[in-house]
Amino acid sequence: MADFAFNVLTHSPERLNVISTKLGPDAATKYSDADKRKAVKMGALANHVLCAADDELEGFIDSVDAATAGGFSFGGVARGNRGFRVEAQVGAGQGATAMAVGDLVVADAQLAVGTKGLAQVKTGAPELHKYRVMTVRGTGVAGDVVVLELL
């Protein structure tokens, strides 16, 4: 019998806390459904942009609409409430130390816009937006999937 492992649950809309927002750093960078589930942070133009390595995880792209706002891509970003869980992938920046249950994470470099995949994360010391590893599917090295929970 397989051991129990925490998993992502079906969340109520209140727990997901999806907000409408412009997506991308500028009007020329178009997001698509391939960008769903990637980690984002708030930008300076009432927008959300993909996280860079070492950024704190402020949200995850939930939807991308066909409509635009001021030329920007437009969609929803899940900025979960306490207990919100999400799948992510251990990024290449994790290094030689394996990610483990209980580790806190920050963003690693995200996959390019238009490339389908999960949010890329690595261990770190976030100050405001704290996500903890609940489950590691594999050994905690680059490419493995983890389940994160917002503290």
For 5-30, what is each residue's pLDDT tens digit? 777 766 666 677 899 999 999 999 99
For 48-92, what is each residue's pLDDT tens digit? 999 999 999 999 999 999 989 999 999 999 998 888 899 999 999
In the chain, which ranges are E strands? Answer: 18-23, 39-42, 47-50, 59-69, 72-78, 85-90, 104-107, 119-123, 131-137, 145-150
Single pTM value for the model: 0.90
CA dist., res. 111 & res. 119, Å (int): 8
